[in-house]
Chains A and B, each alone.
Chain A
Amino acid sequence: MTEFPGASGLVLNEPLLWDKGKKGRSGFSLPRRDVESAAVDESLLGDALNLPDLSEVDVVRHFTRLSQWNFGVDSGLYPLGSCTMKYNPKINEKLAGLSGFSSAHPLLAETLSQGALELMFKLERLLAEVTCMDAVSLQPAAGAQGELTGMLIIRAWHRKEGSSRSKIIVPDTAHGTNPASAALCGFRPVKARSNEQGILAPETIADIMDEDTAGIMVTNPNTLGLFEENVAQISDIIHSKGGLVYCDGANLNAVMGLVDVRRTGVDVLHLNLHKTFSTPHGGGGPGSGPVCVTEQLAPFLPVPRVIEENSAYVLSEDFPESVGRMQAFYGNFGVMVKAYSYILSLGADLKKVSQLAVLNANYVKEKLKGILHLPFDRPCMHECVFSDKFQTERNVTTLDMAKRLMDYGFHPPTIYFPLVVRGAIMIEPPETESKEELDLFIAALRAIVKEAEEDPDLLRDSPGRSKVRRLDETEAARRPCLGG
C-alpha cells in the first residue's frame, strides 16, 4: 500500500495579532537611554499608536502556528509550472546573512564595500557565461521589473535609432506580466498565435511584424513547456524589419549549458534568480530579475553599474544613454548572494540541473498521459501541460483535481495557465525532486483520476485535510475586507 504524505496532523488555531496581548507588554529590548530627553514641538506629535502590545512568547507562538498552515518546498513537492520551485539550499541563507553583508550600508565609499561589489561583478559575469549574453544588470527587483527594464532598453534603442515604434508582439502563451510590462512602457501588445504544435510559426510573425513594431517578447522554452524551435528564424524576421527580440527567461531552468541565448537571436533577456538560481520565493518575493543584453544594448542598462577599474570595483553612473535607476540602490543584494553561492556550488553541473529537470518532466508526462489529456504530445522541456478534458464528462474540473492533490500531501501544479489550453494543468517537477517523490505524485494523480470516476463529490468537496476548506473568493472581492 502506497503511503502518501498527506495526513491530518494537529493543527492549532490562532487568533489575529490584535486579539492577543495586553497593553504594556513588549517583545523588544529597548536600548539603554544614555541621552537626555530633548524638546519636541508638541503640535507635531501623533496620537498613541493603535498597535497591539505583545510579549516575545506571544509573537513567536503566533507566527510559528501560522507557519504550520503553510506549504513550502521544504514541506514537499511543489510542482508549480513556470515557477521552478526547486530546493533552496540552506548554506545560501547563512551566507546572505553574514554580518558583513547584512549590515553593509549601500552608500559606503567603494573602498569600504569591495566585497559586495566584487560579488555583484562576478555574479554578472557568471550569468553572462550561463546565457552567452554580453552584459548584465542585477538591479531589477523581480521578473516583471526585469521585463520593464528590458522594454525601456528596447524603447531607448529605437529612440536612438530615430524611430518611435508603438507596438510589440506578444505570443498568446506569454505570462500576463509581459503585456502589462510592455503597456507600462507605452507599447501596444499585438497577439501572436502559436500553431497546432504549440509553438510560434515564422509565417505568423512575418505577417504581423512591421516597421511600427518594436520587436517581440518570447518566452523560451514557452509556457507549454516546448522549445520554440523556430526562434532563430523568427529573430531574423524581427531584426530584418529593424526590431529587437526580448526573451522572458522564466524557464531558463530547462536549457542551461545547452542553449546559447545569443544564437537564438535574443537581444534582451531577463532571468529570475528566485526560480532558476534557487533563491527562495518567500511566499511572493523578494525575488531578483537580472537583465542580460548584447554588447550593442549595454549602454542602456540601468545605473549605477559595477565596473572594474585599476583592479578595484567601483559603481559608475557614467552611462549617458542608460534608462536610469529601477531601484533606490542596486537591487536585491541579499538575493544575489544566494544565487552566487548556488552557481559556485554547481559550476558546470548547471548543465546537469537542466538535463535532470527535463528528464523529470518527460518522465511525469509519459506516466500521466494515459489518464490526463495531453494537448501537445511532443517531447517537452522542464514542464508539461495537461488538461481536464477526460474528466469533464464526470463534471470534474482541473480545480477539483488540484484541490484534491492537497489531501494527498502535494502542492497543486499551476492551473488554468497557459490560457491557450482550456483547463490547463501545468506541471513542473524540478531537478531536486527524486524519482520516488515523482512516483508518489504520479500515484496520487492516478488515485485522484480514479476517484473522479467513482466518487466525483470527493474531489468537489476537497481539500478536507487543510486548515480551512475551499474559500469564498467571490464574496472576498465583492465586499473587500482588507484589514481588521
Chain B
Amino acid sequence: MRYLPHTPEDIASMLEVAGEKSLDDLFKTVPDDCRRARGLDLPEPMTEWDLDHHVSDLAEKMAAEPEYKVFLGAGRYEHHIPHAVSYLLGRSEFSTAYTPYQPEISQGTLQAVYEYQTLVSRFLGMEAANASLYDGASALAEAVLMAVRVTRRKKVALSRAINPFFRNVVQTYFRSTDYELVELPYLENGRTDVSEIPGMDDVAAVAVQSPNFFGCIEDLRRVGEGCRQAGSLFVVAFSEPLAYGLFENPGSQGADIVCGEGQSFGIPVSFGGPGLGIFASRMKHIRNMPGRLVGQTVDIDGKRGFVLTLATREQHIRREKATSNICTNNSLCALTAVMYMACVGGTGMRDLARLNYDKCEYLKKELPAAGFKTSFDSPTFNEFVVEFPSDFEATRKRLAEKRIVPGLDLAPYYPELAGRYLLCVTETKTRADMDALVREIVS
C-alpha cells in the first residue's frame, strides 16, 4: 500500500525493539471481550485508477454547473472563484498543517488568519473578528449564546425571515438549555416586523438576517435603535456577504455581533459544506467571544509575529467554563476567504456586488413582465420571491429535463407562502440564461 512505508524487514526489526514477536502481540492490553469477533468486511482495496473512475461516476450523477443552470440560493451561492485562489489552496504547507499551536513554524497560517480577521472586520464595519466558526448556522447559535453570557438574560428574539436552517440549528443548540426563543414575524414587504422590539422585556439579543432569507435588505438602523431601547444586544446574521459590497454594513448601523456564512467568498458550494462561519463583535465583548483569535505580537528580537491569543476563553484551558466547545474550526476556509477578498479587492468587490444586484434586478423585472408576481416589494440582493401558478410542479419537472433548476419551493419552510419560490441570480448567470429560464417557464 503506497501510504504505508514499512517493509517486512522494517517491521521485523521494529518488533524486536518493541520486544514483541508479532504485530498482534502489540495489542495484548486489549482484553478479549473488547475485540472484534470477525475481520473487517470492507471492499477489496481499490487502485488509484479504479477509485478515480468510481468516484468520478458518482460525481457525474450530480446536476451541477455548467451543464445545469441552477437558480438556487437559500444559504449557498454560486460565484466565480478565481483560479489563483484554488491554486494557492493547493499549497500543502497550509492544508496539511494542524491548528497553529507552535507559532514559530506556523506564521503562514497565523498571518493569513490575522489578515482574514482584519479584512472581515473592515468589510462588516466591526472591531474584531475571530478565526472562523463552522458555518453560518452554528455561528448564529454561538452569537446568541454569547449574548446570553454578556447580558445574563435568557430570552432571544429571532426574526422569522432568518434562514430556516439557521433557526433550526439555534433551536438544537438551545434544546438542552432553559433559554427561551421568541420569533419576530415578517411584514407584507418581506422585512422583519421590528415594531415590538423597543418594548421587549428581558431580551438578551435580537437577531435579524440581512439580506434576509427572502433576499430583502432589512432596516438595520431601526432594529439597532429598538435593541438599545430594550437593552438587548443587536445580532446581525447573513448568508450572502457580497451584499455588503454594495449596501451599508451592519457595524455602521449599530450591530453588536455580526455572524454568518462566508461561502460566497471563494468557497465552492460543495453540496453544502464545508462553508465558513464568519463571526465579529465589538471589542468590549471580546472576552466572551467563541473560537480562536490570532493576535499580533513580537518575538525576542522584536520582530513582528502572530500567535493564537486570549486562549483563556477556550476549552483546552477553561474546560467546562469555556466560552464555547469549539476546537477545530474552518481555518482553511478562512484562508480561502482572505485570498478571495485579496483577489477581488475593494474596488472590485463594489463592482462585483453591483453586477450581482443588476443581474438579479433584470430577472426580477422579466418575470413580472411574463406575468409572474413578485411577492415582496422591499429592496433585495441576489434573491427574491416570486409566485408561480399552482401547476408549477409539472413545469419544474419539464425544466429539469432542460437542465434548469428554477428555485426553491418555500411551502415546506413557510406554509403560508405555498406557491412562492425563492430565486437566486449571481454574476455567474448570463442574460441569455435568465431569458431561457423565463421562456421555458412560460412555454
Contact = CB atoms under 8 A, between A and B. Distances in A.
B131 A284 contact: yes
Contact of B330 (A62, A64, A286): A286
A56 B136 CA distance: 29
Interface stretch (B152-160, B187-195, B223-231, B240-248): B240-248
Nearest to B408: A107
B30 to A, nearest CB: 5
A348 B44 CA distance: 7
A51 B97 contact: no
Given A27-B342, A101-B62, 13 more contacts: A17-B342, A51-B349, A64-B88, A145-B326, A264-B34, A281-B98, A284-B131, A329-B273, A330-B271, A334-B274, A347-B44, A358-B27, A471-B298
A62 B117 CA distance: 17
A130 B101 CA distance: 31
Contacts of A183: 320-322, 325
Nearest to B364: A38
Given A359-B15, A473-B309, A477-B310, A144 B326 contact: yes
Interface string B40-56: 11111110100110111
A331 interface: yes
Q: Give the interface size class of chain A.
A: 35 or more
A31 B355 CA distance: 9
Given A66-B111, A115-B59, A328 B163 contact: yes
A7 interface: no
A346 to B, nearest CB: 6
A99 B273 CA distance: 14
Contacts, number: 714
A30 B172 contact: no
B92 interface: yes
A295 interface: no
Contact of B4 (A38, A88, A180, A431): A431
A353 to B, nearest CB: 7
A44 B169 CA distance: 30
Contacts of A280: 92, 95-96, 332
B151 interface: no
A256 B58 contact: no
A328 B348 contact: no
Contacts of B270: 96, 101-102, 104, 333-334
A114 B76 contact: no
Given A46-B252, A68-B108, A112 B400 contact: yes
A362 interface: yes
A123 B171 CA distance: 28
Instruction: Name the residue in A60, A70, A152, A181 with the highest tally of chain B Cβ atoms < 10 Å from its Cβ.
Output: A70
B311 to A, nearest CB: 8
5 contacts: A56-B343, A105-B70, A112-B405, A286-B330, A349-B4
B357 A70 contact: no
A64 B335 CA distance: 12
Contact of B41 (A129, A329, A333, A431): A129
